[in-house]
Amino acid sequence: MEFRHKSVLLEESIAALQIKPDGIYVDGTLGGGGHSLEICRQLSKRGRLIGIDQDAAAIEAATQRLEEYKDRVTILRSNYCDMKKELGRLGITSVDGVILDLGVSSYQLDEPERGFTYREDAPLDMRMDQRQTLSAREVVNEYGEMELYHILRDYGEERFAKNIAKHIVSARKEKTLETTGELIHVIKAAIPAKARATGGHPAKRTFQAIRIEVNRELDVLEHSLGEMIDLLNDKGRICVITFHSLEDRIVKNKFRECENPCTCPKEFPVCVCGKKPKGRVITRKPIVPSAEELEENTRSKSSKLRVFEREIQ
């Protein structure tokens, strides 16, 4: 199956990066290479793009898509949380820009056997990196009821989290849950019929929560943002596209903290903690898709772009 993924907020994020032709840029979520291709088009022969992705199918697709610019592109199969280490291996200690598009690609959603979609019956998987051992099957069948409840509540913001967790534990006593279809059946039984009738697919939030747990998405984001900002040269920018409120909150808070890291009590006349700002938030409010983009690409609906600019004192 062809790796298809329409890049969300493409023009806005590329404009926000303020690309220097001779600069070094990192696409930490390479996907099909949509954002990377636009960056490459603005680079000179002396410029450089490093693309990082965990997914073998994405690597293959992006390699083909960026073939024309292969003299200035390096593609790595890794997680963006290892960006500093991976760049270090290439002898790179600082960059001019970083972009992250945190959405699940259309390819991953549309390829049933990857188990990301609740629209078709497929094995419970949801791994972005298929080399890892933890999959949705382990989460669903081996996590305790309280663990499942917390994941569904915190990562899926699912109001019926308690009941869904209880139903999962009860169902798996009868037989191991192997497929997305079996899980959906359990979820539907746990949600009152009245609630199922509104608000989209009843399994949507549960699937989101399990996917986040399987791929450690929020932990990776939270623990990587500061390090990525530290990699930026003066006036370098990081652009992050999120797709749900949990990710957006992490990005907003981290950017705010990097802009104003002082932890002194408000009544102190001067700062004594010695924490220095790392730069400034460019987007006071997130950039959202235009009406035109929303019409063209329904998957852009919940996307938000936030931008931070490094300022080295």
Taking residues 188-198, what's their average pLDDT? 92
pLDDT tens digit sequence for 116-147:
888 889 999 999 999 999 999 999 999 999 99
Integer Cα distance of 309 and 259 in angstroms:
9
pTM for this entry: 0.92
Integer Cα distance of 242 and 207 in angstroms:
17
pLDDT reported for residue 170: 98
Distances (CA, A) of 174 to 89, 136, 168: 50, 18, 10
Decide if 152 contacts 206 (C-beta within 8 A): yes
Taking residues 99-126, what's their average pLDDT? 84
Q: What fold does the segment set 115-215 form as a domain?
A: DNA polymerase; domain 1 (1.10.150)
pLDDT reported for residue 106: 67
pLDDT reported for residue 69: 97
Residues of the chain with CATH 3.40.50.150: 10-107+218-310
- Choice among 142-151, 207-216, 274-283, 294-303 with the minimum mean pLDDT: 294-303
pLDDT reported for residue 103: 76
Decide if 228 contacts 28 (C-beta within 8 A): yes
Residue 232 has pLDDT above 60, yes or no: yes
Residues of the chain with CATH 1.10.150.170: 115-215
Taking residues 249-277, what's their average pLDDT? 93
CATH of domain 10-107+218-310: 3.40.50.150
